[in-house]
Structure 1
Amino acid sequence: MPSVYTFTHSHNDILNALVEVFSIGRGTMREQWTTQAEILVEPVGWDALWKLSKRFCKKFEARFPCIALITVTSVDYEELTADVDVLSVQHESVSLPERVTDVPFIELWPTVKQREEFVNAEGTAEFIDLMRFYYENLWMPWDDQDNKVILSKTVEDRMSLWLELHNGSIPNSVARSIIMLRNSAINAHEKLRELDSSLCEGGMADEDDSLLPSNYISQCAEMNANLDSLIPKWSLYEDPLVREHYLALARTKWQENKSKRNVVALWQGGSMKEFTNISNFLKSKVSNEQNLMIMVSAEEGLSLEPEEVIVCSSNYEVPEMPLLRISLCSFNGATLKATEMRSCLLMMSEECKIQDLILNCARVNTIIVMRAGSLHVKNCKFSDDSENCQSDFAQGIVAMSEAKIIVEDCTFENFYSGLVVHEGAQVELRNCAIKRCGVGIQMYSGSHVKLDGTVISSCTEQSIRCELSANVDYKGAGMDGLEVASNCKIGAGNLQQEVLVVKQDSDML
């Protein structure tokens, strides 16, 4: 994939640019962006990488995330969208239509190299980059309401909140509540869009209300009521004066809660016999120094920042939230799944443990992303049981640059990459099995992988793939960071054939 334009601006520069957008007139939010787009966005002929949204991935039955190279054939300034021709797709197994309409600008990244000589791709890219920042970080669904005017003061207040969320001024528990509140509003808005889209596809958008599906009006009323209920809650955080008073109270409560060693047991209910068995298990598991809470909602339980979570039902859906300093385990085995389509099941950092769980990849691209710190995984099964043939670029564990991971007695099955180990990361596998993957282990220059008692079998592309940095002469080179004990079986057994060393593709986005 070709390189794209990227921009590095200070927070103050971004704020000044946004204030300028919303200071031109007193139109609606979309009208303000449209005015700027008509000046700065090329009308036709520019090439870009398209990062498909979850909505398009669902529509085309492609796993999220998915990237395609496209060329823009026309733009709709009022809707801030483009019609595109698809030139190629990053993953060969994914099939997209040759022509796609109504692709939002914010899903497009103009490429540095353009086929049309006189296209101002850089100006287009910088405008879209600013608009993307607003929609990804500051936009709220009620901004789209008819006759709703967004003032520059509102943008300043939201930017202030965004900065506080990212600089540590707000306690983690409160920050997660704010993020979840925004996500809830966006999810309600998306469900409303899906309902409207289903009507349009059924040709009923202009029909009389009496002809609408029986549950349509009730579902719309429920989603709108949900959105309306979130507005006053959001106002507590958006107004800086109210926020400071609220945070002062929250910090006090957080300090009190921090001193407790919380253990959360997640259970959806069941028979008295099951309750008795779970109670006996928890008695043996939880110490007198710990504070036990039994909860139904995984979202509410995780928001308490417990030191340990015990999953007591056979299946549980977990929300999208970063996890740190936490231990996850189960009573009698349990399967964890994502609540909806997203990039990863568990985003973890600092010191974490996972034990006795089945981690399912059905709605995500990656099961665990370990950003930094230590992770110990024991007796877990990583599986992708998706029947969609386009799902074969899923990943089990991704270890980022500062991660140290030990994996014991675990199975990885049916992934494109079982494990991905980036530069600076350390991964040790003990008595593990990796089977029926495209690539068993994908590792990069500067990473370290140690295998002990581990079997890698039935990989369709390569058992182990090592990518060296672009500036390294890889001809005849080995991978210094790879240690394989004699009690391992890698593919057919010939390590030289089972380990492929290649040069890293520096042009990938």
Structure 2
Amino acid sequence: MASGARAAGPEDRTGSPGRRGEKAVSAPGGDGAAAGMLKSRASPARSVVASPRPVKAKAGREAARRRLQLLPVTQAQGPGEGAAGEEGEPLPSVPEEAQAEARPLPPICVSPMRGMWRDEKVALYCDQVLQDCKAEDADEAMSKYLSEKLKLKDRWLGVWKTNPELFFVTYEEASIPFVGILVEVTCTPHQTSTSCFKVTVSVAEPFSSNIANIPRGLVDEILEELEHCVPLLEVHPVEGQDSEIRDIALALEVVRFFYDFLWRDWDDEESSENYTALIEERINLWCDIQDGTIPGPIAQRFKKTLEKYKNKRVELIEYQSNIKEDPSAAEAVECWKKYYEIVMLCGLLKMWEDLRLRVHGPFFPRILRRRKGRRDFGKTITHIVAKVMTTNMVKDLSSDTFLQQHDDLDLALDSCYSGDTVVIFPGEYQAVNLALLTDDIIIKGVGKREEIRITSEPSHDSFVVSKADNVKLMHLSLIQQGTVDGIVVVESGHMTLENCVLKCEGTGVCVLTGAALTLTDSEITGAQGAGVELYPGSMAVLERNEIHHCNTLGTSDGSKSTLGGVSMKVLPAPKLKMTNNHIHSNSGYGVSINQPAEQFFVVEEALNKGAASGDKKDETVLSRVMHSLNLEMSDNKIEANSKGDIRVVTG
């Protein structure tokens, strides 16, 4: 399983690649060789407070207790041992050498994978390592790849990173993310499965660790219990050795990444005609998460779901292993419950992987509620949302208006039929039903828009989602908190937003294919993607709006940072009319037109033909391109956007 292949601790990122011409250190030849590794770039070691596992020797136990400044002897040693230690003969004094703190760890080799482009990763895994193998043969392919690399050098220095639970009974997770020990590695793996590879290790001199006050005797004792064999993928080669060691370090990183992110334990249970194509999709998914193409909240939810799946699978295996005889009825039911929970998580992960988590998550369509239509008696109702309703609130309504008062916005929306109006008075509200708008209604605030604050429910994926033919929101403030979908998603039909404030936390307003949006006199800010994102074949009219400080999610990939105020995805081209808008202070362009690569060069060539000098382009040429894309712009103020005002970019 993948869990068996994973290194117990996080990867050390403090090292840097060795410089060309740097003197290599042959592995390993005693104190001198290891000492040469401990340069000024070594990772600092620090003392921690933890309760060590009991070791056999009395002197070792006492040293561990004193060195880690911990619990009483009775807690650190186990039941019965503390009293014997206190009432028996005095413990021999600990040699002075045992009091010396561990040296800092040398820097580990930095894998070239960190600088690889996605195409290079795809070529490495699909063409070199897996080579069109089937899912059930992936373990064997990874094992063969790693075995060939390990033949380059059978002895080298590495940092063994393992779970702190192997050394300590109690500890602070924040202070000890992993235990790292400098070891001498002897590579004589015999297993056929990569995830089960073991190597022989011994403590290298000088004694070095990321925990300054870890007792040397404790480390020796643990290694003796393990017969000096540890999982190969927990060992990270250190810098300054032969070039062959760098190749081994790369191979280890390739295998770790495969089992950590690309491999799924259901792969070999299902028939896949093209397994390498599936691996390529997962590589693209990982790259999209890393470079910010997929918004942070969505990526985080995917990672949590994947981690939950792995944990639940481990729980099931452990539960089954604890059943000694034939399971009872209760145990059988519990096994089935755990199994079906795993199946549900597995299905969710497959859905997310297939749809690539694009912008607003995997659940499409989002609205499964049916449209109610109009009431049987044909009348419409005005729903008043306020804690207390007074006559002054309804004085401007006609005498024949049907009224219904609610103190909860959710109840008001749930009571609506097509043609109804929801009038909201100042206050703070939440409403799950805003994500289920199917009927043609008007939702409007009374008073200043800043005083009618509607916040999203963090436990839900969506905030405002509509597939009504014609729905209107007026004089409101929408505050997104925790939801990962777009702050407003127009799934189908037409939505009007008038005089609203949209404070985004995830993505901005998304208008899906075939849907339409009219946005007037409103403000959009804080979106992690574009403030307004138009999908192919959508329509939008934007007038007198302010769109600023969008595309707030940082990304290391310059090509992914072009989103800003308004983003259009072309083919078929959306229709957009923009008048008197102020688009400013966005990361990216004020308006970006995203086209597929094969279409980009045609438009780019047309733009370049009109260039007079440098980056200055003929405005008439740009105007013709915009016209061909159904884009009308007049009297807009586009300024102070980090990439520029308007740009045609590859999608």
TM-score (norm 2): 0.39
TM-score normalised over the length of structure 1: 0.49
Q: Rg larger in 1 or in 2? A: 2
Higher strand share: 1
